[in-house]
Amino acid sequence: MNVYQFVLFLHILGSLALGFYLILPFVLGPVFKLATPAQEGAVTAVRTANRFGQYGLVIQLLSGGYMMSKEEYPVAWMVIVVVLFVAAGALSGIIGKPLRLAIEGIRQKKEVQAHFNKVRTLSTVLAIVVLLIVFVMVYPNLFA
Q: Which of 106, 102, 16, 1 is nearest to 56 (CA)?
A: 16
133 CB burial (10 A radius; 0-12, 13-18, 19+): buried
Domain covering 3-143 assigned CATH 1.20.120 in the classification: yes
pLDDT category at 32 given cuts 50, 70, 90 is confident
Percent of the chain with pLDDT over 70: 100
Domain-wise residue ranges, the chain: 3-143
Q: What percent of the chain has pLDDT over 90?
A: 81
**pLDDT of 144 above 80:** no
Residues whose CB is less than 8 angstroms from the CB of residue 120 and which lie 6 or more positions away in sequence, other chains included: 25, 28, 29
Report pTM.
Answer: 0.91
